[in-house]
Each structure stands twice: as C-alpha cells, then as structure tokens.
Amino acid sequence: MKKAAAAGQVSEAAQGAGLVALVLFGAVAAFFGVAVLFYPQFYILATYEDLPGEWAQVFFFAAAMVASLWIIRRPHSCRPFFTLLALACFYVVGEEISWGQRLFTFASPDFFQRHNLQQESNLHNLLTGPVATWPKRILEMALFLGLSGYGLLYPLLHQKGARPILWLADHGLPVPPLYLSPYFVLAAWCEVRLFSFNEAEVAELLVAMALAFLALHHGLFLNQKGRGHASWLPAMVMGGVVLASLAGAGLVSWYCWQAPHLHGQTVQRLRAGQEKFALRYERHGQWRHAATLYEELVETRSKDPELLRNLAGCYKELGEEQNFLALNAKAIRLDMLRHGRSPRLVSVNLSLSQSFAQRGNGEKAKFHLERAMAESRDKVLLEPFNAASFYWYGRCLQVAGDVQAAAEQLARAVTMAPSSQRYLRAYRRVLGRAAES
C-alpha cells in the first residue's frame, strides 16, 4: 500500500511538473509569435545578440548544467549521459558569452579575427554564423533530426515498448517526458529557419529550457524507489528555475546597459539589430514595422542618406507619398552637398544613383551609377591591394544588378580585411540576394 501511494504521489507530482512546462511553452511560443507580428522591438530584444533573450539562453543552459551535476552525484545508469550534458552545457555557456569577451570586452586574437565568421573568441562561429555555409546547413539538418528524434519519437516508441528503445533507456539514455516534446519539436523547426527571421535564437532558448527541465525531471524522479514527492514540489522547482533564469538575464542585460564600458557596445548591437530586422520586415512586405524601426534609427542618424532612403522606400510602399518625397529629397540634398565637394567620390555617386532611381529619375540614376562604376573600376586597377576598392566595386555591381560578380568582389574585400564588419555585412547581404535569385 505504501509503495502504491508513493507511486501515485510521484505520478501526481510529474503531472504537475508537466502542466507547468506546457503552460510555460505556450507562454514562450505566444510571446514570440505576438512579438514578431506586432511588436518588433520586443522580438529584437528577445532574439538578438547581447540582449535579454540571449542572456536567458545562457542562464537556462547554466541551469541544465547545475541540474546535471546534481544528478551525477550518485551512481545510476544515466550518469554518463548527464556527465556529458553538464560538460556540453558548460561549453555552450562559454561559447555564448565568447568566454567572457562580451562582458570584459577584450579584443579577439588574430586567429579569430581572420577565421571566425563574427570575429569573436569562440569556436562555433568558425563553421557557423550569419553567413550561409554548407557546414551550417548540415548542422541545421542534423539538429532538426536529432531534436525531433530524441524529443518526440524516442519517448513515443518507449511508451509503445519498442525493444531497441527499451534497451537504450535501460543502458543510460534517459527518456524525455512527453510534456517536453513541444519544446524539442518547435526548436527543430526553428533550426531550419523557414522564415529567415532569427528563429535559430528561439530554438536555442527552447532547447535550453527543455534540457534544464529534462535534468530537473530526472533529478527529481530518477531511482526514487518508491519515495514520493509532495505534488507541488517539482512544479515549484521548475517555476523557480524559470524565475531565476529570467531574473539573471534581466540583471545582466541591465548591467550591460548601465556599465560605461559596455553601454556603447550594447547600444550599437541594438541599433544593428533594428537595421537588420527592418530589412527582414521589408523582405516579408511588413512595411509598417520596417518603417517603425527605421524611424527610431533616423532619430540618431538623421544625416545618413542610405537610412533616409530606406525609410522613404517604406513610406512609398505604404502610400505615404508626401513623406516619401520629403525624405528622398533630403537624402539627395545631403549627397549633393558632398558631391559638390568631391564629384568623383564613388560612395556619393552610388548613393545619388539609388536615390534618383527611387524617385523615378532614370536618367540621373544612370549617370551617377556609370560614374561610380567607372571610378570604382579604376580604383581596383590602381589600388589592387586596397580592400575598400573591391568593396565599392562590389557595391556598384550589386546596384547594377550583377549579384554574382558583386559577391566575388565583396568576398575579396572580406578576405583582405577580415576584421571589417562593414565589408562582412555587405557580403552577407549580397549572398542572401544571390540565394534568393
């Protein structure tokens, strides 16, 4: 009778933990869905580097590591698995913060400057990063299959009593509870980036939460041998881990915003995120969201012709003709002032070409593009060791519509100056357009 009562208590406690996990999953999924559709600024905060969402990932992975260490303090068949999980989570936490570089702002060694796709002191960006590479595609598919297989198929087959699965479970591969399957499955689909909207960051958060809950589940219920828990205890522990992780993410984000040596870097990343997501919203035809993000950027960069032109393009798509004409005229006026001082400057002619094309003045657009193209071509011939020459030639080719040739020239610029974020961003964009075409 005592064993039956204890087993019933364990079952009731597991059900309570499962209910909490499913409610949290619904809240996370709803938050990201509502944010991306209606509140782009919140979505950026939740998915962009060094902002609260990424710090939440770090703390959930840290929670999974601590819970795994708690499990392996006593011998059992799953001990090797959770030992490896603790080591993996330690590695992930270190990589996510670039082994302290994000907090202490030390410069990346030369090796990482040259080979890391984000010029950061971590290993995973040697193969993966913002650039679409074949190792990244292979890794994404492997994660899709692994997360789906382990998080959904494995527990279902175990429940049905499949002999190979039972053997794996008996020999140390813990079975995730089915209430964690939504985390693993949604993370798997986010990894393949169906919308190219930073879904991989959503996947990382879901995986971190799932692993933390998996370790907590097995820590609380593994080898209980009839010992039950108070029905509320697992749910309370799970909720406490969530609150602690979110509080930690909030505190570190606040520190990064307030600390003098980190504030500028944090603001810069936020602005970069706004600009990047504005372009993504444009690709999906969400012109109002794109305009909102550009408007915030214009407040601090009111004399940036490219930014003004981007915002003008959004107004044009939204049918706000007066706003479009005013901003387009301002962009042209700013460039004409620079053109008066340096009429042969490639950047000015290229910018004027784009602004006149946007306004519908094809003749002037063609004139300035041809001048920019001729000047940039001469620069490449006269200064073959100058990365900027290849950068501007690539930009001209891109505006002229020759995306493949533009990618080649920009790749040369990146190779010659791997630490230049400007060249790298331009190369990423042209690669994206080449993939779309």
User: What letter would DSSP give residue 144?
Assistant: H
Nearest to 233 by CA among 246, 219, 220: 220
Nearest to 310 by CA among 344, 337, 283: 283
- C-alpha–C-alpha distance, residues 429 and 364, integer Å: 26
- C-alpha–C-alpha distance, residues 336 and 314, integer Å: 23
Average pLDDT of the residues of the chain: 87
Count CB atoms within 10 A of the CB of residue 401. 9
Which pLDDT belongs to residue 330?
97
The burial class, CB within 10 Å (0-12 / 13-18 / 19+), for 55 is buried
Local confidence band at 265 (pLDDT 50, 70, 90 cut-offs): confident
Q: In terms of pLDDT, which residue wins out, 207 or 123? A: 207
Residue 273 phi/psi, 5-degree rounding, is -65, -40
263 CB contacts (<8 Å, ≥6 apart)? Answer: 256, 257
Local confidence band at 126 (pLDDT 50, 70, 90 cut-offs): very low
pLDDT in tens, 159-169: 999 999 999 99
Cα distance between the two ends of the chain:
69
263 touches 256 (CB < 8 A)? yes
Which pLDDT belongs to residue 213?
95
Q: What is the pTM of this model?
A: 0.82
> Per-residue pLDDT for 115 more than 60?
no
Which pLDDT belongs to residue 105?
63
Nearest to 40 by CA among 361, 292, 381, 241: 292
Count CB atoms within 10 A of the CB of residue 413. 25
pLDDT in tens, 67-105: 999 999 888 889 999 999 999 999 999 888 876 666 666
Local confidence band at 116 (pLDDT 50, 70, 90 cut-offs): very low
- C-alpha–C-alpha distance, residues 115 and 12, integer Å: 52
Local confidence band at 8 (pLDDT 50, 70, 90 cut-offs): very low
Long-range contacts (CB closer than 8 Å, 24 or more residues apart) made by 152-159: 152/181, 152/184, 152/185, 155/181
- C-alpha–C-alpha distance, residues 28 and 95, integer Å: 24
204 touches 164 (CB < 8 A)? no
> Per-residue pLDDT for 108 more than 90?
no
14 touches 234 (CB < 8 A)? yes
User: What letter would DSSP give residue 73?
Assistant: T
- C-alpha–C-alpha distance, residues 125 and 116, integer Å: 5
pLDDT in tens, 39-74: 999 999 999 877 899 999 999 999 999 999 999 988
The secondary structure element, H or E, covering residue 44 is helix 40-47
Nearest to 409 by CA among 370, 376, 437: 376
